[in-house]
Amino acid sequence: MGGVGFAVSGRRGDDPTQYPGKLTWYVVMTLMAAAMGGLIFGYDIGISGGVTSMAPFLEKFFPSVYHNQMDDTSTNQYCKFDSQILTLFTSSLYLAALVASFFASTMTKKFGRRKSMMFGGLIFLVGAIINAAAVHISMLIIGRVLLGIGVGFANQSVPLYLSEMSPYNYRGTFNVCFQLMITIGILVANLFNYFFAKIEGGWGWRLSLGLAGVPAIIIIISSFFLSDTPNSLVDRGREEEAKTLLKRIRGVENIDAEFNDILAARNDARLVQNPWQNIFKSRCYRPQLVMSILIPFFQQLTGINVIMFYAPVLFKTIGFGSDASLMSAVITGVINVLATCVSIGFADRWGRRTLFLEGGVQMLIFQIAVAALIGAKFGVTGDVTELPKWFAIVVVICICFYVAGFAWSWGPLGWLYPSEIFSLEIRSAGQSVNVAVNMFFTFLVAQVFLGMLCTMKFGLFIFFAFFVVLMTLFCYFFMPETKNIPIEEMTRVWRDHWFWKRFMNDPNDPVNGAIKMNKIEQV
């Protein structure tokens, strides 16, 4: 039946055996190699907080910040670390990634997912080299911008690659490997900072920044050997190649059902000339557009990057010494990696919704606990000189539970869910919206967190908790389950949904009309 059915929805129901095939070694190796793309993003998230707390680095590039910190004798813990210039250095990367993701959209669509990954890796490598060799702040900034461009390209293309290449009933498992690589990148970066900060002569920061080149080289080499996805090949008119590839990655000769679905999606896609115009204008893309904006928005408003960027600072605030703070950041990093594995095992079994909902509730409970603990001890003045050890330990435990909640829900699913819901014609554009919104709010949180901590005090955790309530409700009412649904059949989840279906059957919608006419002609 494949591409010639009248309606896109419900073509073959929920039958999990609808596409014949098995999990081949070839596809497993390919997907693992592609998931490495997450490493560069993770390494960067993890590295900058530690580097900007290394005294020799600060003294060289941000002398005023360095002297302010040295001279600061106030006991108001909430406001100790607020420095806009320093956070701008960290967060500038995310602005560059935001802009780059829009260029990546065209590249990913026209030249394939693989080329975007390779390009991202190359630019990132150049950025890492410039950063490691920096003798002036301008080199640091240029390096950061190049790293950002690399992240923009990789985050735009890798999740799409994984979702299209995976067998549909393992899509969750493999796509979550992207997040696993992000978390490994963060952890490795934290460990490096911990050791390199101790290097005598104070040049350890060069190693921290320069070693970002290693994951970049891994991506460049792996994308060199990867084949592109069948969906992208068909989209670019290379059907025969796509057929041969499908047989190889699914390990069977009979790939007609899947191939025909991809072909049908491509035929629909050809009716849509301008994805950018349509994704914003056509009502039938409204559900997908809303998800591509709200999911990354909510992911960042969980407040996770407060922990990822500022864990050492936060732990210092609650009374740990420098070493203990860095060590606690490593502990939360380990929890982040381990908890992501839960999602690898269960995203395709329990479904996305169960994980989203459970993760939301868990984060909420422990955010409130942290707010209560910090509020009780620091009050509104933040004037504290000594805190009992048990207190710091209990806070760290609560933060670990919060991180685990994120790591098996909104962390991985924040990349998986958007990458699997777009129709082929707007997939690349939609993913760019997702990356851009994600980067914008990553930037914003990084930029304003320290200032907010200073003004909102422990109320900051309540602020993020409020968004966690909103997003959990949003998920409950508006996010349909996507597990076990082939990617090119995803429109049916919107057609069957109590709320979104009203957008899907509008006869006046030009895209809807054209796609329907096309199907009638084909029958």
Query: Considering the complex, what minimum distance in angstroms separates the CB of residue 147 from ligand BGC?
Result: 15
Decide whether 223 or 438 has the Cβ nearer to ligand BGC. Answer: 438
- Judged by the rule CB under 6 A, the positions of this chain that interact with ligand BGC are 45, 179, 182-183, 186, 299, 304-305, 308, 336, 411, 414-415, 438, 442
d(CA 177, CA 173): 7
CA distance 494 to 287: 7
Tokens of 135: 């003798």
CB atoms within 10 A of CB 506: 15
Residue number with CB closer to ligand BGC (3 or 185): 185
Nearest CA to 116 out of 214, 288, 232 is that of: 232
Closest CB to ligand BGC among residues 177, 269? 177
Residue 77 CB, nearest distance to ligand BGC (Å)? 24
Q: What is the DSSP string of 222-257?
A: HHHHPPPPHHHHHHTT-HHHHHHHHHHHHTSS--HH
Distance set, CA 466 to CA 91, 157, 297 (Å): 24, 32, 13
* Cβ 435 vs Cβ 97: under 8 Å: yes
Beta carbon of residue 187, minimum distance to ligand BGC (angstroms, whole number)? 9
As a dihedral over the C-alpha atoms of residue 126, residue 131, residue 132, residue 136, rounded to 10 degrees, the angle is 130
- Smallest gap from Cβ 126 to ligand BGC, in A, equals 23
- How far apart CA 297 and CA 464 sit, in angstroms, is 12
- Minimum Å distance from CB 199 to ligand BGC? 26
CB nearer to ligand BGC: give 227 or 472. 472
CB nearer to ligand BGC: pick between 299 and 432: 299
Q: Give the Å distances, CA to CA, from 312 to 200, 337, 405, 414.
A: 21, 18, 20, 25
Q: Based on CB atoms, which residue is closest to ligand BGC, 130 or 307?
A: 307
| Beta carbon nearer to ligand BGC, 90 or 183 | 183
**Which of residues 45 and 471 has its CB atom nearest to ligand BGC in the complex?**
45
Of 153, 154, 156, 158, give the one whose Cα is nearest residue 176. 158
| Between 158 and 233, CB nearer to ligand BGC | 158
User: Strand, helix or coil at 383?
Assistant: strand
Shortest distance (Å) from residue 300 CB to ligand BGC: 6
Report, in Å, the least distance between residue 38 CB and ligand BGC: 9
Instruction: Please state the separation of Cα 282 from the chain's center in Å.
Output: 26
Closest separation in Å from C-beta 354 to ligand BGC = 18
Give least dist CB 436 to ligand BGC, A.
13
Q: Cβ contacts of residue 296 below 8 Å, gap of 6+?
A: 414, 418, 434, 435, 437, 438, 441
Taking phi first (over 0 means left), then psi (-120 to 50 degrees means alpha), and beta for anything else, what does residue 201 get? Answer: left
